[in-house]
Homo-oligomer: A and B are copies of this chain.
Amino acid sequence: MSERNDRQEFCETNVIHYDIVENVREKMPPEDPVYDVAELFKVFGDSTRARMICALTVSEMCVCDIAALLGMTSSAISHQLRILKQAGLVRNRRVGKIVYYSLADEHIRQLFTVAFEHVTEEKGGQL
């Protein structure tokens, strides 16, 4: 996590395009939410967690079932579920010994949908 950085090299002291830098500084979104967004994407940015989220998009599932579906140990899944829970992305409910997990927010589906559109369009980027 990059915090403040006072280290200054060469190039940094004399900005080339002062007007552009100031313009962007004014108009770009405030710092804190950007860090939160990065944090959110970081949680999505692991293939195991991404697969778990895709699975939970279809149906509520217990730890054991997710582990079976993805071919991993319950321990590994549980660790990742904890991360998803802390990020507020999943909810859970307990029924006896079994804990069912489900998606906590509709934004998640939306983000994955747009991301899927992006990766399935074969490099047809528009300027």
Contact = CB atoms under 8 A, between A and B. Distances in A.
A19 to B, nearest CB: 10
Contact of A48 (B2, B44, B48, B117): B2
A21 to B, nearest CB: 5
Contacts of A16: 62, 64-65, 98
Contacts of A118: 40, 105, 107, 111
Contacts of A126: 105-106
A28 B57 contact: yes
Interface residues on A, range: 35 or more
A44 to B, nearest CB: 4
A82 interface: no
18 contacts: A1-B47, A7-B72, A9-B67, A11-B67, A12-B72, A15-B68, A16-B65, A24-B69, A25-B69, A37-B44, A37-B50, A37-B119, A39-B47, A41-B41, A41-B50, A41-B115, A88-B125, A111-B111
Interface of A: 1-2, 4-9, 11-12, 15-17, 20-21, 23-25, 27-29, 31, 33-51, 54-55, 57-59, 61-65, 67-75, 88, 91, 98, 104-107, 110-112, 114-120, 123, 125-127
